[in-house]
Structures are given as structure tokens and as C-alpha cells.
Amino acid sequence: MNDAPLSGLYRPSLALLTDLYQLTMAYGYWKNNLHEREAVFHLYFRKAPFEGGYAVAAGLALAVDYLETLRFSDDDITYLAGLTGSKGTRLFPDEFLAYLRALKFTCDVDAIAEGTVVFGNEPLVRVQGPLLQAQLVETALLTLVNFQTLIATKSARVRDAAGPTDSVLEFGLRRAQGPDGGLGASRAAYLGGADATSNVLAGQRYGIPVRGTHAHSWVMTFTDEKDAFRAYADAFPDDSVFLVDTYDTLDGVRHAIEVALEMRQHGHELSGIRLDSGDLAYLSKEARKLLDAAGFEDVRIVASNDLEENLILNLRQQGARIDTWGVGTQLVTAYNQAALGGVYKLAALRTEDGQGWDFTIKLSEQQAKTSIPGILQVRRYLGDGGQPRADMIYNVAAPEALPPSPTIIDPAEATRRRPVHPNAPFLDLLAPVLRQGRLVQPLPTLAESRTHARQEVNSLDPSIRRYLNPHVYPVGLEQSLHEFRTQLMLAKRPVRPA
């Protein structure tokens, strides 16, 4: 079983999982003899999704699998050879295609571990190496990391809402954006905190526990609801969860109890009932009363029906007696936010003499969209209990050393400054993953990343985790990086007469 089986699902090549302009730029770099010039790119997002206070980094294992297996196959080259421009001439000459055919990924990659809580403007992935290669992988890295991080974050929020003892099941495959979206969402949802999935392929590929009940069609197949429950119990005597709302929910609960009593006489116990419609708070409380009165205190109540974190939290506040939350459409489609919006920006180029760096910046009419130059690292300062207190983005290639007591400056508001105590404990979050395209050490398993994610989210202050108007976690630039960025912005922006 492979923890990151992209290359096993999509044979023989993912080299064309890209936008055309990555290939046209690659040809332009090659034609102008810039393709081997060393470059540094960063992948980051600007704002946490769902109007929340944090995100959960995810997708690194898939990205590494893609990078390690990146090759242009004969079929890829044949396809590219047939592409033509507006005048009907070929886009790519044979010499360039021969270069692509022999290409192997040899960049260095540093990244923040999957499951780590992250915030806006922080590089999740840093790619350093030949310009053509680092540019070429932009689209694939974005599609992998953006979606995985988005769904893992949604799942972490659902997990938070359900509380530490209730189970969360991901039930979304039938509503996902196709097989790719469904499989990727199941992986990310598990990483973010879901306990199991209904997606059997995800169970096979990623080792995620699989769970399921039955549909209304099962009950409708039989002339009597009790007969349907009996037949299901006969098939799965120790793993039966009855869907009780096909006709009348509370009558369905009573019928489930009757069958559960019969099961008990044969040495088996009903595992649970499922509610899929109606007033879930009221129905779950009434169902709990009926089950407990009949001696079935351990029978779990599973709820589904367009659940998401805010509704789950509301139901719990109403005293709903739900033990297991089946979350589908809202989770796997990130229903209230279609995309994370991560970007991939060039931040440094080797000087022509190869001795130093030219740091690059992308300007914008919007301050928030101006990129950060340098070879960036994220330093997380910790409280006495190890909880995150503030993050500082700094340039590891800056000529000056970091001061013993640095100042963190908000990139969107320079008047917001936070000095750091000289003895404050810290972690540098971007760690080596690939060197010359080869894995430095084995990545954590999906289960290990899931455990890490839970620990990370739990370490955040509750004010940052809340859903409505969360507290803003402090993230900023180290002072000398802020000053250099400001100087570069002024140097690059044209001065127009009034």
C-alpha cells in the first residue's frame, strides 16, 4: 500500500499535468539559455480559507510522489510535437523535445510538514534549482497542495465542532468533483481529522478505515421495514447500523429496537442507527430515550444530511444526542469556499556570475498581492507549553545575521510590530524534503500526519480556532526583510508625474 499513490493511479506519466504556458516558458528559457540558471520559488496562500484563523498544510506526500516520478514519456513527446501555433507551425522544435525527453527533476525542495497549522503568506513549499524545472512544476504543485490543504482544513474544523469523543465519517464520494476530487478529498479529510471514509478506493490506496451503513433503497426493497432490518442484521450480525428515516423516523427507531432485541437473543448487538433527515436535535434526543429505555445504551446514533462545522456545533449546543457525524457534500467540495487560492512566485535568481542572488518581487495594485523576495524560512516562536505564539518570515540568504531579539512586522500594516524575546523557543518550519530531486528521508505516514494535525490544531488558542471572527494569529516579516522589500517595491514601481 502506497501512502502517495499518484504514480500508481496515473500511468505512465503526469508530466503533462500542467498549463501550456509552463511549457512555453520552459521553451523560452531553453531558447534563451536561461534554463539552467538557479531559481527559487515559494508556494503559499494569502488568506486562510472559510474566513477562518488557520489552515492545515496537506498534499506534500502527493507532491513529492509527482516530483520523484516526473518524466516525459514517448506519448507525451509525440503529443507535444503535434501542437501548433496560430500560424499552423509547431510550437516546440525537436531539439527542445529531446531535452524534455531526457529531463529529470533535480531541484531541492524544502517544505512544511503535512498536518502543521499554517497561516497567510507563509511558504508551504520552497523549490530551488534550475529555472526551467522549478517553473515547470508550478501548476501540478498548486493543484495538489491547494486542494489537499483546503479539504484538510475543512475537516479539521468539522473535527473541532464534533468534539474529541464523537466520530466523524467522510461520506462525500457521490457528491465529489469526479473520481479525482473524491479520492483526494478522502485522503485530506482523514488527514484533517475524519476517522473513516465511505470511499473504498481511498481505503485501499491510503489505508483509511472504511465505514458504511445502507441506503433507503434497502428498506424500500422489502415490504416491511422490520423485515429489511432483519435481513441486514442477518447479513451483518455484528456490524449493523439501521437507517431509520425511510418512512417515519421514530417508528423506524422502534422497529430497529424490535430487531435489536431479536439479535440479542442470538448473541449479537446492534451497532447503531442513522438519522438522515428532519430535526436532528429533536429526533436524536427522542431516539436516545427509546434506545436507553429498551436497554440499548451503547447503540450509537449516526447523523448525516448536509452537515458541516457550524451546523454540528449548533446541534451539539442544542443537546443533540449524536455520537457519529457523517459529513459528505459540505466537506469534500469545501462547499462554502471553492478553492484555497495558493500561488507560486519566483523570489530569487542567481546572479550571472553565480556568486550571489538577485531577489525578485511581483508588485500589485493591492498590497496583499505583492510577493516577498528572498529565500524564505518560517520561524515559529513558542510559548512555555509549546503552543504557537507568533511566526516570522525571514530571508536565509540575507547578508546580515538575524538579531538576537528580532522584530516581526505585519506585511499588510507596517505599524503593527511585535518584538521577540531573545530567549524565546522556536522552530524553523521549512525542512529539507528533496535534494537534487531525491528524497532526504522517508515522509511521515498518512496516519502520522493525521496525528500531527490533531496535535497542531489543539495547540492553537481557542480564539484562533473559532469560526466567527477568529483572532488573527501574528505572522510577519523580520524587520530587515520588511525594509528590503519596501526598498525593492519603491525601486521597481515607476514614478508617474502628478
Q: Is it the case that residue 324 has pLDDT exceeding 90?
A: yes
Same domain for 265 and 344, yes or no, is no
Q: What is the pLDDT of residue 371?
A: 95
Please work out, in degrees rounded to the nearest 5, the angle formed at the alpha carbon of residue 56 by the alpha carbons of 322 and 307.
25
**Mean pLDDT computed over 162-187:** 96
Q: Which domain holds residue 271?
A: 213-322
**Mean pLDDT computed over 465-470:** 95
**Mean pLDDT computed over 240-246:** 98
Q: For residues 254 and 244, is the Cβ–Cβ distance under 8 A?
A: no
Please give the tally of structural domains in the chain.
2
**Mean pLDDT computed over 167-192:** 96
Torsion of CA 308, 309, 310, 311, to 10 degrees: 50
User: β-strand 241-243 against 117-118: which pairing, if any?
Assistant: unpaired
**Is 208 part of any domain?**
no
Q: What is the pLDDT of residues 422-435, one digit of tens each?
A: 889 999 999 999 99
Same domain for 391 and 485, yes or no, is yes
Q: Is the whole model's pTM more than 0.85, yes or no?
A: yes
User: Which of 476, 453, 464, 266 is CA-nearest to residue 390?
Assistant: 476
**Mean pLDDT computed over 127-134:** 98
CA pair distance 249, 109, nearest whole angstrom: 54
Which CATH number belongs to the domain containing residue 265 in this structure?
Answer: 3.20.20.70
Q: What is the pLDDT of residue 367?
A: 72
Q: What is the pLDDT of residues 248-282, one digit of tens each?
A: 999 999 999 999 999 999 999 999 999 999 999 99
Q: Is it the case that residue 441 has pLDDT exceeding 90?
A: yes
**Is 185 part of any domain?**
no
CA pair distance 411, 406, nearest whole angstrom: 15
Same domain for 269 and 366, yes or no, is no
CA pair distance 169, 313, nearest whole angstrom: 16
Q: What is the pLDDT of residues 21-50, one digit of tens each?
A: 999 999 999 999 999 999 999 999 999 999
Same domain for 260 and 378, yes or no, is no
What percent of the chain stands above pLDDT 70? 97
Q: What is the pLDDT of residue 3?
A: 61
- Using the CB atoms, write b or e for 103-118: b if 16+ within 10 Å: bebebbbbbbbbbbbb
Torsion of CA 366, 369, 373, 376, to 10 degrees: 140
Q: What is the pLDDT of residue 171?
A: 96
Residue in the block written with cell 471553492: 338
Q: What is the pLDDT of residue 1?
A: 47
**Is 22 part of any domain?**
yes
pLDDT-derived band at 19, boundaries 50, 70, 90:
very high
Q: Is it the case that residue 4 has pLDDT exceeding 60?
A: no
Asked which of 298, 322, 346 is the last residue of a domain, the reply is 322
Q: What is the pLDDT of residue 136?
A: 98
CA pair distance 130, 35, nearest whole angstrom: 6
Same domain for 450 and 418, yes or no, is yes
Same domain for 313 and 351, yes or no, is no
Query: How is residue 481 written as a grid cell?
Result: 526583510
**Mean pLDDT computed over 151-163:** 98
Q: Is it the case that residue 160 has pLDDT exceeding 70?
A: yes
CA pair distance 475, 281, nearest whole angstrom: 39
